[in-house]
Amino acid sequence: MAAMTDTPRWISVTLSWSRLLPIARVALVSAFLIGGIQKLADFPAAVAEQADFGLEPAWLWAAAAIIGELGGSALVIIGRWAWLGAGGLGVLTVVSMLVANNFWAQRGHDRFTATNAFFEQLGVIAGLVLITVLSLRDQQRG
């Protein structure tokens, strides 16, 4: 007897496509990849950005951001140690949320914008958790 599902067949077929998960992994970490590449290409600007957020020593925070963004993204994309890559990106995102999107300390339109960005980043963290769960399931299957 076939399992009952409320998912239309064409969606099930699409979600079963073997290339979908690798594409989704790249899409999930694309902002981190771009950010890491931009920081690496213009390290002085990356240092200035960290200093603007009050993170000192700014050069160390910039270097950590580059390593975290590029290294974490690579681990998520290849699916090896995805928990480490996603965890690092998640921590980086939490720091960003608290430093750059502190909506509770802002007013007016700035508060509106920061609130949206804060919760969008929370959604990215949830996506990182989900990709880690999928990676664990794949490993357990063998």
Range of the domain at 97: 23-141
pLDDT (tens digit per residue) in 55-68:
999 999 999 999 99
Domain contains 4: no
**Gyration radius from the chain CA atoms:** 18
pLDDT (tens digit per residue) in 18-55:
899 999 999 999 999 999 999 999 999 999 999 999 99
Predicted model pTM:
0.88
Domain contains 14: no
Domain contains 84: yes
**Distance set, CA 30 to CA 89, 127, 135 (Å):** 12, 13, 18
Domain contains 54: yes
The pair phi, psi for residue 55, each rounded to 5°, is: -90, 120
Domain contains 68: yes
Query: CA-CA distance, 85 to 128, in Å (whole number)?
Result: 9
Would you call 54 helix, strand, or coil by DSSP? Answer: coil
Domain contains 8: no
Domain contains 61: yes
- Average pLDDT score over the chain: 93
**Distance set, CA 102 to CA 14, 16, 57, 134 (Å):** 39, 39, 21, 31
pLDDT (tens digit per residue) in 106-121:
999 999 999 999 999 9
pLDDT band at 138 (very low <50, low <70, confident <90, very high): confident
Asked if residue 32 lies in contact with residue 89, where contact means CB atoms within 8 angstroms, the answer is yes
Domain contains 113: yes
pLDDT value for 139: 83
